[in-house]
């Protein structure tokens, strides 16, 4: 199959079979919990995938984001990012500290990162005949990600890819070009791997200029797929030590960020302890 982008055309071999339409019905989840004023309404990965696919039966585009401590730090500073999260229809718990706070309240919630969503959503897209679009760091990363997804997700159609230039701005002509490519491709799911807050702000703008597209913010998810960045080993993920793995590998980039996250987590945990740790804000 041919994968089109504004700055390259790549060939990916892919079989595409006729599949049934996606299921119809209510998709939007009720709020499971709130952290620092931000709601989370996706309790686990399977629920998130099913809800996103079901929501695609409706005409309007929508946004899927994840919430972790770094996101909370940025949300406190950025009204534009707060608007994106307020507009998001699905918000997952990304990071053990968020899950730990939820469990103190008795919330049955599991960690679901943007990277976790990619392959399950692509597998479901292949079953339901929903094409995808990839927006990310470089064409080499996008090409490698596309090849891996094509090989691992039967029936998946990749409608296009786009690698923004350095210093990409969501109000630039490059953003206009990216949104037009997504719209014209017919893709139903667009994975946006530009990092927080750029990916959320781009997706927020794209909502008004497209229809029927799920914009899923996935951070470094495509880099992990392509192998250009190495994700924390599963054993450390299960021990909730991914933060330590990342800090060890990127101390200069993440040192200050993780310090700010630790301060915020201590503040949130202290508030939980003062309230008895039982404030479950379920819808």
Mean pLDDT value across residues 184-210: 97
3-state secondary structure 252-283: HHHHHHHHHHHHHHHHHHHHHHHCCCCCCCCC
Domain boundaries along the sequence of the chain: 2-12+26-226, 234-274
Q: How far apart are alpha carbons 269 and 275 in whole angstroms?
A: 10
Distance spanning both ends of the chain, measured CA to CA: 44
Kindly give, in sequence order, each residue whose CB lies less than 8 Å from that of residue 112, ignoring residues fewer than 6 positions away: 42, 44, 45, 48, 66, 92, 93, 94
* Residue 10 pLDDT: 41
More confident residue, 262 or 169: 169
Q: What percent of the chain has pLDDT over 90?
A: 68
Half-sphere exposure at residue 97, Cβ-oriented, CA atoms within 13 angstroms? 23
Q: What is the pLDDT of residue 29?
A: 60
CA distance 212 to 250: 38
Q: In what order do the strands lie in the sheet with 158-162?
A: 9-11, 2-4, 158-162, 132-135, 189-192, 214-217, 62-67, 90-93
Flag whether pLDDT at 129 surpasses 60.
yes
| The pair of three-digit structure tokens given for residue 204, joined into one six-digit string | 């927020």
CA triple 139-224-98, angle to 5 deg:
130
Distance CA 261, CA 173 (A): 34
Model confidence at 280, pLDDT cuts 50, 70, 90, reads very low
pLDDT digit string (tens) for 10-38? 433 333 333 334 334 334 468 899 999 99
What's the chain's average pLDDT? 87
Q: Report pLDDT for 95.
A: 86
Hunting for tokens 């929903």 — which residue is that? 130
Residues 6+ apart with CB under 8 A from 121: 49, 52, 53, 132, 189, 216
Cβ(263)–Cβ(256) below 8 Å: no
Question: What is the DSSP secondary-structure string of 22-49?
Answer: PP-S--PPPP-EEETTEEE-B-SHHHHH
Q: What is the pLDDT of residue 70?
A: 95
**184: nearest Cα among 131, 145, 139:** 131
pLDDT at 283 > cutoff 60: no
Model confidence pTM above 0.75: yes
**Bridge partner list, 211:** 60
Place of tokens 């939007």: 28
What is the rounded distance in angstroms from the CA atom of residue 5 to the CA atom of residue 18?
25
Tell me how far apart the alpha carbons of residues 56 and 75 are, in angstroms, rounded to a whole number.
27
């Amino acid at each position: 199959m041919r994968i089109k982008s504004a700055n390259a055309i790549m060939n990916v071999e892919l079989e595409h079979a006729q599949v049934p339409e996606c299921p119809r019905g209510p998709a939007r989840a009720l709020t499971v919990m709130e952290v620092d004023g931000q709601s989370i309404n996706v309790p686990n990965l399977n629920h998130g995938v099913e809800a996103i696919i079901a929501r695609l039966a409706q005409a309007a585009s929508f946004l899927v984001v994840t919430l972790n401590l770094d996101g909370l730090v940025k949300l406190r500073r950025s009204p534009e990012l707060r608007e994106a999260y307020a507009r998001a229809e699905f918000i997952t718990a990304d990071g053990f500290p968020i899950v730990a706070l939820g469990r103190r309240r008795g919330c049955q919630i599991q960690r679901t990162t943007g990277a976790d969503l990619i392959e399950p959503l692509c597998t479901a897209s292949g079953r339901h005949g929903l094409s995808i679009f990839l927006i990310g760091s470089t064409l080499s990363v996008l090409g490698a990600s596309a090849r891996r997804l094509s090989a691992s997700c039967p029936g998946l159609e990749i409608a296009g890819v786009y690698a923004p230039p350095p210093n990409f701005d969501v109000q630039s002509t490059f953003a206009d070009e990216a949104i037009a490519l997504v719209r014209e491709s017919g893709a139903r799911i667009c994975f946006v791997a530009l990092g927080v807050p750029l990916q959320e702000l781009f997706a927020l703008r794209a909502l008004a200029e497209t229809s029927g597209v799920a914009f899923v913010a996935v951070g470094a998810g495509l880099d992990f797929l392509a192998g250009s960045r190495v994700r924390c080993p599963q054993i450390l993920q299960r021990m909730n030590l991914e933060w330590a793995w990342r800090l060890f590998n990127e101390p200069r980039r993440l040192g200050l960020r993780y310090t700010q996250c630790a301060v915020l987590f201590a503040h949130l945990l202290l508030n939980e302890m003062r309230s008895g740790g039982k404030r479950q804000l379920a819808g």
